[in-house]
Structure 1
Amino acid sequence: MNKPERVKLFLVDDDKVFLKSLEIDFLENADFVVETFPTGELCVENLSKKPDLIILDYHLNGIEKSAMNGISTLDKIKAVNADIPVIMLSSQDKIDVAVDCMHHQAFDYVVKSETAFMRLKTIISNAFRLKKVEKELKWYMNKM
């Protein structure tokens, strides 16, 4: 019997400590292939690797001021493949930031905290459940 393919996850954050911590959480507690990127530019350059899901920091230009920010990166990802679910991360717990992300087609928005990893796991599960339902609905609609 064939072993199912593992989910390919891109993590994008300019905070090296948080990025490494999140990578370790996913590698130790979930069966994902994880690739990390410190900039939006590197993430976009690697979209040909076909990630199943991307977790993207809202403020990617905190260290390198000329770097592409999270919203610009999100827009570029969606221009390449609108079907990739992108979960935005931010240390800002502001509704206007979350709304801005959703207007740019983010799947969800998570505030960086001690519970962020658990929230991300739940959201990822929901994203794949939704993809499955959409696929089944598309199949059904094509049969009619």
Structure 2
Amino acid sequence: MKTGNKIKLFLVDDDAVFLKALQIQFMENDDFEVETFSTGELCIQNLNKKPDIVVLDYHLDGIVKNAINGMQTLDKIKETNAGIPVIMLSSQDKIEVAVSCMHHKAFDYVVKSETAFVRLQKVISNIFKYQKMEKELNWYMDRM
């Protein structure tokens, strides 16, 4: 995991109950600083706070009728800062949805279930392992 400061985590979901449950689970761990958003627009407006990771719902159509969906939000996040890892989250257990998310440069796709929190923790751990390996590789490549 990230050393030193807390991991700044954005949780974006229009399902208020699921969002609150995730927030509580992450906040029980002292490694995280969590901000929640019910729409993609709110998340995008707050990207200047430089989140380390964004966990983003695939649909985002439950609160505001004409709100942008998760895929559109993902694209806007990547336009703003391609380096922010985004984990897509959905109740859809369809391979086509997961593949589509990966094509839009999501780091991973997690199905909403009773094990989603554990799965998210593993993905977040993998993100930091990947970033560490990438830094080491770049360091070696710069010396060649």
TM-score exceeds 0.5: yes
How far off its partner does 1:47 sit? 0.5
Give the number of equivalent residue pairs: 142
Q: Which runs of 5+ in 2 are unaligned?
A: none
Partner of 1:124: 124
Structure 1: distance between partners of 2:37 and 2:99: 24
Structure 2: distance between partners of 1:23 and 1:71: 22
Q: Which runs of 5+ in 1 are unaligned?
A: none
Which secondary structure state, in structure 2, belongs to the residue aligned with residue 106 of structure 1?
A: coil
How far off its partner does 1:30 sit? 5.0
Q: Does residue 103 of the first structure (1) align with residue 103 of the second (2)? A: yes
Q: Is the 8 A contact 2:6 2:30 kept in 1?
A: no
Which secondary structure state, in structure 2, belongs to the residue aligned with residue 29 of structure 1?
A: coil
Partner of 1:79: 79
Q: Normalised by the size of structure 1, how large is the TM-score? A: 0.96
Q: Normalised by the size of structure 2, how large is the TM-score? A: 0.96
- How large is the Cα RMSD of the aligned pairs? 1.1
Q: Does residue 6 of the first structure (1) align with residue 10 of the second (2)? A: no
How far off its partner does 1:62 sit? 2.6
State the identity as a percent.
70
**Structure 1 residue ranges, 4+ long, deviating more than 2 angstroms after superposition:** none
Amino acid corresponding to residue 121 of structure 1 in structure 2: Q
